[in-house]
């Protein structure tokens, strides 16, 4: 049994075209782009699949190959890795860090973006090698943190940064 978001138990399903177990549901679907088949991998609690990929035709060359334990486990591993990489990319885009030299010392400049559909926020910070906060400024979430923009901010005395 799997546990759903509301804490209730979800029964495992092991059918030829639908397999649910270990927090994932694999569903074999007709590929809308051609005559083949696709498999959609959806994490429990999500409405949309995290990954959709091609699925193998069966021996009759008309119907899909049935799902089985081995195929499902491989699909779960692939989909989980895809989700993990996506989360890492999102984290990297929202939390950037650059090291610069300023005043003969190493300074770490970070840009942290808080995504929000109505009021996104971004904070630029400069920290010295000891971890002491040198400066902090609110910037547009569209601010591009580069060595040049971080250096320009430092050279301007860490005042309000110019939009880039």
3-state secondary structure labels for all residues of 87-151: HHHHHHHHEEEEEEEECCEEEEEEEEEECCCCCCEEEEEEEECCCCEEEEEEECCCCCCCHHHHH
C-alpha–C-alpha distance, residues 115 and 117, integer Å: 7
Residue 163's pLDDT band, with cuts at 50, 70 and 90, is: low
Q: What is the pLDDT of residue 164?
A: 47
Q: Which two tokens stand for residue 100?
A: 């610069």
**Mean pLDDT, to the nearest integer, of 80-105?**
93
**Is pLDDT above 80 for 7?**
no
| 65-90: pLDDT as tens digits | 999 999 999 999 999 999 999 999 99
pLDDT-based confidence at 124, cuts 50/70/90? very high
Q: Where are the domains of the chain?
A: 2-67, 94-155
Does the structure show a pLDDT above 60 at 5? Answer: no
Whether the pTM exceeds 0.75: the reply is: no
Mean pLDDT in the chain? 89
Q: How sure is the predictor about 117, in pLDDT bands with cuts at 50, 70 and 90?
A: confident
pLDDT (0 to 100) of residue 8: 45
């Amino acid at each position: 049994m799997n546990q759903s978001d509301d804490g209730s138990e979800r029964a495992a399903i092991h059918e030829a075209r639908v397999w649910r177990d270990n927090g994932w549901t694999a569903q074999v679907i007709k590929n809308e782009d051609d005559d083949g088949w696709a498999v959609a991998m959806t994490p429990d609690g999500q409405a949309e699949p995290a990954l959709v990929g091609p699925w193998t035709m069966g021996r009759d060359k008309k119907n899909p190959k049935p799902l089985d334990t081995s195929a499902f486990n491989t699909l779960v591993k692939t989909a989980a890795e895809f989700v993990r990489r996506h989360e890492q990319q999102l984290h990297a885009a929202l939390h950037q860090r650059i090291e610069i030299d300023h005043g003969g010392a190493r300074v770490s400049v970070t840009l942290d973006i808080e995504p929000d559909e109505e009021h996104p926020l971004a904070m630029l910070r400069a920290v010295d090698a000891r971890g002491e906060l040198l400066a902090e400024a609110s910037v547009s979430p569209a601010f591009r943190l580069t060595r040049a923009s971080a250096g320009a901010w430092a050279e301007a005395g860490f005042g309000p940064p110019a939009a880039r």
